A and B are shown apart, each in its own frame.
Chain A
Amino acid sequence: DVKVTQSSRYLVKRTGEKVFLECVQDMDHENMFWYRQDPGLGLRLIYFSYDVKMKEKGDIPEGYSVSREKKERFSLILESASTNQTSMYLCASTATFNQPQHFGDGTRLSIL
């Protein structure tokens, strides 16, 4: 079974802090994704990566950056956290784009 592991289930940070969310997958998948999920808005794509050191912006990249130095690890960075970035963050991976994405259990991030 594919396993996607997100480093924290719950995280509380202050406005203005630089925040790192980490995601690791164990299936040698080429493609990895970061989403945020908010009530009434569903899942929205922030960034994705189709190879090491390669990244593409999703629908809502503003205020975020990403890093993929190794194939199995994809990091989401909040450069200067703001309260409107309080959300559930979900990481996913897939071998090819027309195959199912497999998700981690999410990080619930609160920015105070």
Chain B
Amino acid sequence: EDQVTQSPEALRLQEGESSSLNCSYTVSGLRGLFWYRQDPGKGPEFLFTLYSAGEEKEKERLKATLTKKESFLHITAPKPEDSATYLCAVQYQAGTALIFGKGTTLSVSS
């Protein structure tokens, strides 16, 4: 059973059409939840860390939120340059390594 599930797998938006990506997790004792952006042929680029339920972080058109069971990455008025795969990863209290979801591939057309 997947411990970190991202949905949808793929999302197509028109420029300016706001939406949200979801990352749900089944682990207990969350130490941190991380969002990354990955462009084709490149390594993941760090976006946000969230440590506790209710926390929010913002950067340009992106806003990440965290509850006890899931995190959302809200994209407001996206532009074509926001097209990428967005990865979510969690860290358990008991473990040390990150567990990654399989990602959401976002395509924004003009």
A100 lies within 8 A of B97 (CB) = no
Q: Is the interface of A mostly helix, strand, loop or mixed?
A: strand
Interface size on B, residues (CB 8 A): 22
Q: What CA separation (Å) do A41 and B2 show in the bound complex?
A: 11
Q: How far is the CB of A61 from chain B (nearest CB, A)?
A: 12
In the complex, whether A20 has a CB less than 8 A from a CB of chain B is no
Q: Which of B30-59 contact A (CB under 8 A)?
A: 31-32, 34, 36, 41-46, 49, 51
Show the binding face of B for A, using Cβ within 8 Å.
31-32, 34, 36, 41-46, 49, 51, 87, 89, 91, 96-98, 100-103
Q: How far is the CB of A108 from chain B (nearest CB, A)?
A: 8
**Assuming A42-B103, A45-B97, A48-B97, is B43 touching A100 (CB within 8 A)?**
no
**Assuming A90-B43, A105-B43, A106-B41, is B96 touching A100 (CB within 8 A)?**
no
Q: What CA separation (Å) do A50 and B31 show in the bound complex?
A: 18
B31 lies within 8 A of A105 (CB) = no
**Assuming A41-B102, A42-B102, A90-B44, is B97 touching A98 (CB within 8 A)?**
no
Interface size on A, residues (CB 8 A): 24
B91 lies within 8 A of A33 (CB) = no
Residues of chain B with a CB closer than 8 A to A40's CB: 102
B98 lies within 8 A of A42 (CB) = no
Q: Which of A41-86 contact B (CB under 8 A)?
A: 41-43, 45, 48, 50, 56, 58
Q: How far is the CB of A100 from chain B (nearest CB, A)?
A: 4
Q: What CA separation (Å) do A108 and B43 show in the bound complex?
A: 11
A43 lies within 8 A of B97 (CB) = no
Q: How far is the CB of B46 from chain A (nearest CB, A)?
A: 4
